[in-house]
Amino acid sequence: MTTDTLKVQTKDDAYGNSYTTNISNDKLTNQDFLKLLLEEMKMQDPTKPMDSNKMLDSQMQMSSIDTNMELAKSMEALKISYAQSSLSTAANVIGKNIEDGNMSDQGYNKTYTVMSVENKEGEIFVRAQELLFLEDNVKDKDGNKINYDLSGYILDSNGKKTGNMIALTNPGQIALDSNNKVIVIDRDGKIIEDDDKFVFELTGDRTKVYSDEITTIPFNAVTKIF
């Protein structure tokens, strides 16, 4: 019988017999209770036997406590199992695009690409980067890719501005002239025309440009996966 933290309170009756009035022990089990009850019955005053109804009530209370403890353990195990299952399901969206119902400043649904998922105290979250826009890719006459920043400034191989820029209608969206040619502007703000050095053309594909920040979103807040 577990007695590590057992606290027993007793009293003496009019005949000098000692009897138990209170038992306290967080580790006391139903079997321990029955052993104590039988021991108390052995030591009771034959002329004043214990009330059988009280004995039965005490046993029922102990059984109810045991049942509740087992139910609590089962619920905790179920909670852990559900969290693991939810995490496994959420892992399937890694690398995919999602929406959470929030709108961008331009009035579009914000789109994110999921980088990872995590479980925080039983709640599932996705960690994602916001997709800011799709950037038009440009190449020169030799087929080399031209790099430019958000304002359209053409960058050299070291990532520094060259002074010339590509005209943009929106971030990453290149403006074309009436002949569907890329519009290049020099340092003085004039359009460069008929110059073999600046023969640029769209490649037809686009590059995803993401925010540098990682956004944490509750998985149950995701409204769309694609």
Res. 2: pLDDT tops 50: no
Distances from the Cα of 6 to the Cαs of 40, 92, 147, in angstroms? 16, 51, 76
Task: Look at residues 43, 66, 89 and tell me which one is the last residue of a structural domain.
Answer: 89
Res. 23: pLDDT tops 60: no
Tell whether 210 is covered by a domain: yes
Q: Categorize the per-residue pLDDT at 1 as very low, low, confident or very high, splitting at 50, 70 and 90.
A: very low
122 and 37 fall within a common domain: no
Task: Look at residues 89, 116, 141 and tell me which one is the last residue of a structural domain.
Answer: 89
Tell whether 56 is covered by a domain: yes
**What confidence score (pLDDT) does residue 210 get?**
94
Number of domains in the chain: 2
**What confidence score (pLDDT) does residue 51 get?**
59
In angstroms, rounded to a whole number, what is the distance separating the alpha carbons of residues 129 and 97?
Answer: 9
**What confidence score (pLDDT) does residue 60 get?**
67
**What confidence score (pLDDT) does residue 195 get?**
78
**What confidence score (pLDDT) does residue 214 get?**
95
CB 136 within 8 A of CB 173: yes
Res. 14: pLDDT tops 70: no
Q: Comparing 24 with 123, which gets the higher pLDDT?
A: 123
31 and 83 fall within a common domain: yes
Q: Comparing 58 with 121, which gets the higher pLDDT?
A: 121
Tell whether 80 is covered by a domain: yes
Tell whether 53 is covered by a domain: yes
CB 197 within 8 A of CB 173: no
In angstroms, rounded to a whole number, what is the distance separating the alpha carbons of residues 60 and 55?
Answer: 9
Phi, psi of 65 (to 5 degrees): -65, -45
**What confidence score (pLDDT) does residue 65 get?**
65
105 and 152 fall within a common domain: yes
Tell whether 2 is covered by a domain: no
In angstroms, rounded to a whole number, what is the distance separating the alpha carbons of residues 32 and 75?
Answer: 25
**What confidence score (pLDDT) does residue 105 get?**
83
Q: Comparing 109 with 20, which gets the higher pLDDT?
A: 109
Structure token pair of residue 146:
């031209």
Q: Comparing 25 with 101, which gets the higher pLDDT?
A: 101
The CA angle 17-20-25, to the nearest 5 degrees, is 155
Supply the range of the domain harboring residue 40.
7-89
Res. 225: pLDDT tops 70: yes
109 and 214 fall within a common domain: yes
221 and 130 fall within a common domain: yes
14 and 58 fall within a common domain: yes
- Give the model confidence (pLDDT) of 125-181 as tens digits: 999 999 999 999 999 989 999 999 999 999 999 999 999 999 999 989 999 998 888
Tell whether 154 is covered by a domain: yes
51 and 111 fall within a common domain: no
User: Minimum mean pLDDT among 9-13, 50-54, 88-92, 97-101: which range?
Assistant: 50-54
101 and 79 fall within a common domain: no
Distances from the Cα of 186 to the Cαs of 156, 170, 183, 200, 202, in angstroms? 15, 19, 10, 14, 19
- Give the model confidence (pLDDT) of 25-72 as tens digits: 555 566 776 676 677 667 766 666 655 566 566 666 666 666 666 777
SS3 (DSSP) at 87: helix
125 and 32 fall within a common domain: no
135 and 38 fall within a common domain: no
Tell whether 32 is covered by a domain: yes
108 and 71 fall within a common domain: no
136 and 210 fall within a common domain: yes
Task: Look at residues 57, 89, 121 and tell me which one is the last residue of a structural domain.
Answer: 89
Whether the full predicted model's pTM is greater than 0.95, yes or no, is no
In the chain, where does DSSP find H-type helix?
Answer: 30-43, 52-90
**What confidence score (pLDDT) does residue 33 get?**
66
**What confidence score (pLDDT) does residue 148 get?**
95
